[in-house]
Chain A
């Protein structure tokens, strides 16, 4: 146990150099390569005085090293300043945006993971039989259809014609947001089900041919018990790995679905910031994703020791 804590503390400390590195890349991209953003903000006809004043305000007249320190400071204090286009505090914008994003991505992710694991168990159990073939073919078909088709067809029929859900938009507060997120959630699930079922099926089938499964059968266990206890518990190891690496991306929202459904989440915010060259927002999102990935990789390693007793954190 002691060595696991050492490991976790070590990994948390490693976050510091990782963040410094990410800050350096951001600094190179936005402060060095991107050039002077002043005329972008003021328009071509701004006077030299106005430009100088704005540079002063944004801290762009400082020496480069000081500018790097500003980036580092913002990463560690989570104070990213104000957006250039909306003039709002970026940290409060991020909190505002995180709510719609998470109300969309978390339920979508949970539903799609549960469904695909269940279907994968089903097809692995009936491997080679009709139902296996049917579900696999269905998966391929679902994967082959473009996401735009799903969005347009579902928006048109389910939302517009039958009026089951809202076509687009968002409202804060439970349960007001529910009708707005159901459709994007359905589309998310439909999109991920195909590849996920196929992936999990492979993971489960990898285990089915292991020697210990033969031992379990030789004990007289029935197929259901063999499958649900012996096989699944081992197949969970790669499945957990695969799902946890996706978690940081939930936080960042869904770029595509949010913009199509006009959901004011982090994904939509990132796209708007990209279009309007809103550097501080982009910097903040990049830092957020770096932290998210680093933290969830650590969580993944810790979860590993839970699902696989052979793994020790050292």
Chain B
């Protein structure tokens, strides 16, 4: 008997615009001790499926309208609410994507782990506390005796996710559902957490449903893969088969759109290269897949230096004493120097907190540097007064990570695009600016008619295109992309990366590309700087850094990237 058997599951949500089918006639099985990967982009219905298995779909508006969810033969769709509460946390446990928000901020982690134990294992407070310490130890939290009394905000992201795992395995569940458990984590932390989950699964012989949009992670962990696209299951097979002989064009597209370290295509393939809007397969244009040595073309090497940074230092004050005087400094960027030639892309990689975002912002003086020089095109930016700096800002633009919060929700796209033009006196009159806004929309692959719409009417990828268009509105020469594609699905990410490269080619733009995703940085950059604790660890041409890393830290980072090759294949290759 299967541990979990989902049969013809359909979930519908009633919205003001009518009923939306989030999951359509879905069926798959999980055996004890087996890991099934559920893959799809945002909105494909994969998270809803996982919540359905726990009967946690918010109702209203969501409702399981048909199908069965058999857990050890018992149909959970028909089970009473009281029975479901017995199962939740005890037989089926769940780990969520955002460890930051998934833990209750006002209770200690110990309190939150004990809650499960006291509920299902009828332990008293003392027994539960002792067991919770064991669990924290098991998931690799340092000094569990003391850590148990900490609040979530006193822990790092990786530690919080370990606490979530400890909470989930507390009652030794038979099935563990993981909804994008590592997406919010750095690559090195992701590797550790995946290894931990893999070990625990073996130890407790848990069945596991692993939801992700990242096929690279799936290859490392899953036995079987279920691919969902627009609420439907489009392909289901063993992991090895999916990676070697994917049948559905969407799966092929997903596999192709993730930048790989060993390939250097001119542009990334996207799902739309494999499939039209109606889901029909189309012939792939082979031209686009061919490997090219785009990195560090010789002609770029002769370009003049556009940006020169000398001994830049950025620090934040630590306050103390009765009058809150500055007693010390936290150095976020420490003695960083580099040169960037016109038309080139410098990739900036490192783990969270390494100072890469601070460095990016201090170049624009959004954060004032404490020492050092930033020379842009011969002008020392660090010496400019406010007015001169404002003029300079039209040449240097920044695109932020979150396309949701960096666009004003009360302005139309047209207003968003024309605001910086007004500010920097670009275009002689309103008509010219409108023309320019239309032209920008075309450039980033959106429609002119969408100018009068508001940001919330667009998808995440489209919003990031709007952010790019806004940056281009003032005819910049230099753009800082701060995690600009990190919040996007892999297939959308590929489109946006291609767009950035197209624009670079057309306008001779220079980029600094900040990301924690090493594969993405490798794909887009000519040169790469690896950052750790505010310092540059290694700066070199991208393929030098990736293929022949010199520093220990770089090697560690690179080895943590999911290979994207299933275990069996790796074994065969060896």
| Residue A190 is within 8 A (CB to CB) of chain B in the complex | no
Interface residues of A in 235-285 (CB under 8 A from B): 237
Min CB distance, A156 to chain B, in Å? 46
Question: Are A310 and B105 within 8 A (Cβ)?
Answer: yes
| Residue B531 is within 8 A (CB to CB) of chain A in the complex | no
| Residue B190 is within 8 A (CB to CB) of chain A in the complex | no
Q: How far is it, in angstroms, between the C-alpha of A61 and the C-alpha of B65 when the chains are bound?
A: 87
| Residue A222 is within 8 A (CB to CB) of chain B in the complex | yes
What are the residues of chain A within 8 A of B322 when measuring CB–CB? 6, 9-10, 13
Q: How far is it, in angstroms, between the C-alpha of A308 and the C-alpha of B106 when the chains are bound?
A: 6
Question: Are A233 and B106 within 8 A (Cβ)?
Answer: yes
Chain A: interface secondary structure? helix
What are the residues of chain B within 8 A of A3 when measuring CB–CB? 320
Q: How far is it, in angstroms, between the C-alpha of A288 and the C-alpha of B549 when the chains are bound?
A: 69
The interface stretch among B85-93, B221-229, B453-461 is B85-93
| Residue B98 is within 8 A (CB to CB) of chain A in the complex | yes
Question: Are B319 and A314 within 8 A (Cβ)?
Answer: yes
What are the residues of chain B within 8 A of A13 when measuring CB–CB? 322
What are the residues of chain A within 8 A of B86 when measuring CB–CB? 220
What are the residues of chain A within 8 A of B93 when measuring CB–CB? 218
Question: Are B96 and A310 within 8 A (Cβ)?
Answer: no
Question: Are B60 and A128 within 8 A (Cβ)?
Answer: yes
| Residue A307 is within 8 A (CB to CB) of chain B in the complex | yes
Interface residues of A in 270-314 (CB under 8 A from B): 307-310, 314
Min CB distance, A212 to chain B, in Å? 4
| Residue A217 is within 8 A (CB to CB) of chain B in the complex | yes
Task: Tell me the nearest residue of chain A to B164, going by C-beta.
Answer: A215
For B88, B96, B104, the residue with the greatest tally of chain A CB atoms inside 10 Å of its CB is B104
Question: Are A212 and B104 within 8 A (Cβ)?
Answer: yes
Interface size on B, residues (CB 8 A): 35
Q: How far is it, in angstroms, between the C-alpha of A7 and the C-alpha of B89 when the chains are bound?
A: 42
Query: Which of B102, B120, B320 contacts A212 (CB under 8 A)?
Result: B102
| Residue B18 is within 8 A (CB to CB) of chain A in the complex | no
Query: Which of B87, B88, B164, B323 contacts A217 (CB under 8 A)?
Result: B88
| Residue B469 is within 8 A (CB to CB) of chain A in the complex | no
Task: Tell me the nearest residue of chain B to A208, going by C-beta.
Answer: B58
Min CB distance, B9 to chain A, in Å? 19
Tell whether A216 pairs with B104 under 8 Å between CB atoms, given A6-B322, A221-B115, A309-B153: yes
Question: Are B106 and A309 within 8 A (Cβ)?
Answer: yes
Tell whether A6 pairs with B320 under 8 Å between CB atoms, given A220-B87, A221-B85, A309-B153: yes
Q: How far is it, in angstroms, between the C-alpha of A196 and the C-alpha of B105 when the chains are bound?
A: 25
| Residue A230 is within 8 A (CB to CB) of chain B in the complex | yes
Tell whether A307 pairs with B106 under 8 Å between CB atoms, given A214-B96, A222-B85: yes
Task: Tell me the nearest residue of chain A to B111, going by C-beta.
Answer: A229
| Residue A86 is within 8 A (CB to CB) of chain B in the complex | no
Query: Which of B54, B88, B96, B324 contacts A314 (CB under 8 A)?
Result: B324
Question: Are A310 and B153 within 8 A (Cβ)?
Answer: yes
Q: How far is it, in angstroms, between the C-alpha of A6 and the C-alpha of B151 when the chains are bound?
A: 23
| Residue A77 is within 8 A (CB to CB) of chain B in the complex | no
Query: Which of B94, B101, B120 contacts A218 (CB under 8 A)?
Result: B94
Interface residues of B in 118-142 (CB under 8 A from A): 119-120
Question: Are A10 and B153 within 8 A (Cβ)?
Answer: no
What are the residues of chain B within 8 A of A220 when measuring CB–CB? 84-90, 116, 119-120
Contact code string A202-239 (vs B, CB < 8 Å = 1, else 0): 00000000111011111111100000001001100100
Contact code string B44-72 (vs A, CB < 8 Å = 1, else 0): 00000000001010001000000000000
Q: How far is it, in angstroms, between the C-alpha of A221 and the C-alpha of B88 when the chains are bound?
A: 8
Min CB distance, B76 to chain A, in Å? 13
Interface residues of B in 151-192 (CB under 8 A from A): 151, 153, 164, 167
Q: How far is it, in angstroms, between the C-alpha of A10 and the C-alpha of B167 when the chains are bound?
A: 41
Q: How far is it, in angstroms, between the C-alpha of A27 and the C-alpha of B465 when the chains are bound?
A: 59
Question: Are B102 and A215 within 8 A (Cβ)?
Answer: yes
Min CB distance, B149 to chain A, in Å? 11
What are the residues of chain B within 8 A of A307 when measuring CB–CB? 106
| Residue B307 is within 8 A (CB to CB) of chain A in the complex | no
What are the residues of chain A within 8 A of B88 when measuring CB–CB? 217-220
Question: Are A219 and B119 within 8 A (Cβ)?
Answer: yes
Q: How far is it, in angstroms, between the C-alpha of A310 and the C-alpha of B119 when the chains are bound?
A: 27
Q: How far is it, in angstroms, between the C-alpha of A9 and the C-alpha of B103 when the chains are bound?
A: 34
Query: Which of B60, B84, B103, B106 contacts A215 (CB under 8 A)?
Result: B103
Question: Are B319 and A210 within 8 A (Cβ)?
Answer: no
Q: How far is it, in angstroms, between the C-alpha of A217 and the C-alpha of B319 when the chains are bound?
A: 40
Question: Are A217 and B56 within 8 A (Cβ)?
Answer: yes
Q: How far is it, in angstroms, between the C-alpha of A126 and the C-alpha of B312 when the chains are bound?
A: 57
Q: How far is it, in angstroms, between the C-alpha of A221 and the C-alpha of B104 when the chains are bound?
A: 14
What are the residues of chain B within 8 A of A210 when measuring CB–CB? 101
What are the residues of chain B within 8 A of A211 when measuring CB–CB? 96, 98, 101-102
Contact code string B308-338 (vs A, CB < 8 Å = 1, else 0): 0000000000011111100000000000000
Min CB distance, B4 to chain A, in Å? 15
Q: How far is it, in angstroms, between the C-alpha of A96 and the C-alpha of B84 when the chains are bound?
A: 62
What are the residues of chain A within 8 A of B54 when measuring CB–CB? 218
Question: Are A230 and B104 within 8 A (Cβ)?
Answer: yes
| Residue B507 is within 8 A (CB to CB) of chain A in the complex | no
Question: Are B151 and A309 within 8 A (Cβ)?
Answer: yes
For A6, A217, A234, the residue with the greatest tally of chain B CB atoms inside 10 Å of its CB is A217
What are the residues of chain B within 8 A of A215 when measuring CB–CB? 94, 96, 102-104, 164, 167
| Residue B204 is within 8 A (CB to CB) of chain A in the complex | no
Min CB distance, A15 to chain B, in Å? 14
Task: Tell me the nearest residue of chain A to B88, going by C-beta.
Answer: A220
Question: Are A218 and B320 within 8 A (Cβ)?
Answer: no
Tell whether A212 pairs with B56 under 8 Å between CB atoms, given A13-B322, A219-B115: no
Min CB distance, B352 to chain A, in Å? 18
Tell whether A234 pairs with B89 under 8 Å between CB atoms, given A6-B320, A215-B96, A310-B151: no
Min CB distance, B13 to chain A, in Å? 15
For B60, B86, B106, B164, the residue with the greatest tally of chain A CB atoms inside 10 Å of its CB is B106
| Residue B107 is within 8 A (CB to CB) of chain A in the complex | yes
Min CB distance, B177 to chain A, in Å? 9
Question: Are A234 and B104 within 8 A (Cβ)?
Answer: yes
Q: How far is it, in angstroms, between the C-alpha of A7 and the C-alpha of B164 when the chains are bound?
A: 34
Question: Are B89 and A219 within 8 A (Cβ)?
Answer: yes
Q: How far is it, in angstroms, between the C-alpha of A215 and the C-alpha of B111 when the chains are bound?
A: 14
Query: Which of A7, A221, A237 contacts B119 (CB under 8 A)?
Result: A221
Min CB distance, B58 to chain A, in Å? 8
Q: How far is it, in angstroms, between the C-alpha of A257 and the C-alpha of B206 when the chains are bound?
A: 66
Task: Tell me the nearest residue of chain B to A6, going by C-beta.
Answer: B322
What are the residues of chain A within 8 A of B119 when measuring CB–CB? 219-221
Q: How far is it, in angstroms, between the C-alpha of A218 and the C-alpha of B167 when the chains are bound?
A: 10
Question: Are A6 and B321 within 8 A (Cβ)?
Answer: yes
The 8 lowest CB-CB distance pairs between A and B, nearest first, are: A220-B88, A220-B89, A219-B89, A211-B101, A212-B104, A218-B94, A211-B102, A220-B85
Could you show 7 A-B contacts with beta carbons less than 8 Å apart? A13-B322, A215-B167, A216-B115, A217-B56, A218-B56, A230-B104, A309-B106
Known: A9-B322, A218-B94. 8 other contacts (CB 8 A): A128-B60, A214-B56, A215-B102, A215-B104, A218-B96, A219-B119, A234-B104, A314-B319
Task: Identify the B interface with A (CB < 8 A).
Answer: 54, 56, 60, 84-90, 93-94, 96, 98, 101-107, 115-116, 119-120, 151, 153, 164, 167, 319-324
